[in-house]
Chains A and B, each alone.
Chain A
């Protein structure tokens, strides 16, 4: 088996004495779509924060492409080839849709210490950006400021920005949360498409999508991994069923 793209070994983190994640082991093979599921408050977003470097780990190690990134700042990890979308959209209110994506494209292409050329008319940035904007279906909203976007559009823009840096590893934090059925289906289709191109770690509550798309699933409950495996195995796993019985989701 080839070297895993991402590896978390015994990773733990507590916030003011409360252990939010403990002994997390997670291995992502290159090319797989790995789903991370679990009830609200299980620590899924915190795991993504630790992978991207927004939250420091208390213990354990994180390897990405064979590099120990445990103590690397977020920007260095991003440059190694990871990108994420945020559960609560983290957008730049005064930027338009197109400007968001162009900025993300810019992040992946060389130095941004350029002081003269107008980025708004730089085809090297705007053409790839326009392509990605169209791909997520926001082409007719390209000139609209983020502050005035609808919820679903913000979710799509989050994904467009993550894609624009051309990452090897895509971390998606509940991309479908709060979307209507139509947008949900659309997004599921998009994730399915992306699956062919990149390695994805998908945090999602929509079990239908998760079981349809994931190659493997890891279940997190109260900060611990209770199961990892193929969807069939997870579906029939006793501990998973217990954890979810009466919970917000049913399998």
Chain B
């Protein structure tokens, strides 16, 4: 079931989910056999953005919190990985042994740290921003994100506005993160885990309260729910997942830079959610793939791809009511 309801999932939803997962599973060998290996890194990035967009969807789609600062969590996650890696290299830990094979930092340390710091940032900023509504919430989340953006620009020792290149991917016991195919499947696994978690969450008691807040928060308070806590926790969970996505993005591309948390990135995440379908499980994943691949292909034909992509997106959102996914899976989201 992908919608925020307690009705049984219809067969189109199950079919769509099955086909989607199968497609993502066979994508690497298919790309390899057809000689399109270079697309694997784009597909991996799409998976990572799908994770980030899904986390935004948790608060935006299910919780009704329209945040325009979500890239900040990704940036924090990315910089945690980047800074730890940089520190390790700088302090001489990048020994010949490390250069030969595994990266210097354990992902088991770096990734949880990325998640924890992103969650902490969500907690601190959420306590303030969740007291506002509507346009004010959009602006305050944007303001917090810009603060982080300028903070990282000012970090001269970590590359300032240029960011920094990482020596290698972190190491994970038993898994070779340096292998692009392995890394792809790891990202896919984490994405599916998070989606399963969100699916349980929104249908459990917690999620019913969260979705209720989207519809009419005052009403829930009068029923006896202290709604602030539920919304804050959802905000922190979403921040943490976006932090993980940021960490993965840093590992995948091998660099971090403030551009990762520019406000336009937050806007892109929002477009992915809106384009794919807010408040649906598969929507943001679809949105992430469509947006990233569209960007890539349009960039091949013209450097003014933004001029084309903008209207395309507007049309898509206008005509695919509720997003691409509800249109494809055969049901519009009722509001």
Is B212 interfacial (CB 8 A cutoff)? yes
Contact of B225 among A75, A114, A121 (CB under 8 A): A75
CB closest residue in chain A, given B215: A92
Contact A75 B216 (CB under 8 A): no
Main SS class of interface, A: mixed
Main SS class of interface, B: helix
Indicate the size class of the contact surface on chain B: 20 to 34
Contacts of B225 in A (CB 8 A): 75, 107, 112
Report A234-247 CB contacts with B as 1/0, cut-off 8 Å. 00000000000000
Contact A96 B5 (CB under 8 A): yes
Contact A79 B224 (CB under 8 A): yes
Within 8 A of A (CB), among B317-335: 334-335
Is B221 interfacial (CB 8 A cutoff)? yes
Indicate the size class of the contact surface on chain A: 35 or more
Report B212-249 CB contacts with A as 1/0, cut-off 8 Å. 10011011111111110110010000000000000000
Contact A119 B208 (CB under 8 A): yes
CB closest residue in chain B, given A167: B224
A167 CA to B208 CA, complexed, in Å: 21
Contact B224 A165 (CB under 8 A): yes
Contact of A117 among B205, B223, B227, B230 (CB under 8 A): B205
Contacts of B208 in A (CB 8 A): 99, 102-103, 106, 112, 119
Is B206 interfacial (CB 8 A cutoff)? yes
Contact B223 A107 (CB under 8 A): yes
Among the stretches B19-27, B196-204, B263-271, B296-304, the one at the interface with A is: B196-204
Is B209 interfacial (CB 8 A cutoff)? yes
Q: How far is the CB of B274 from chain A (nearest CB, A)?
A: 17
Q: With contacts A75-B225, A94-B5, A143-B7 known, what are 18 further pairs, Cβ within 8 A?
A: A52-B222, A74-B218, A90-B216, A92-B216, A94-B215, A99-B208, A103-B208, A103-B212, A106-B205, A112-B205, A112-B206, A114-B205, A118-B200, A119-B205, A119-B207, A121-B6, A147-B334, A161-B223
In the complex, 15 of the A-B residue pairs with CB atoms within 8 angstroms, ordered by the A residue number, are A52-B222, A73-B226, A74-B222, A75-B222, A78-B223, A94-B4, A95-B211, A95-B215, A96-B7, A107-B224, A112-B205, A114-B206, A117-B204, A117-B205, A118-B200
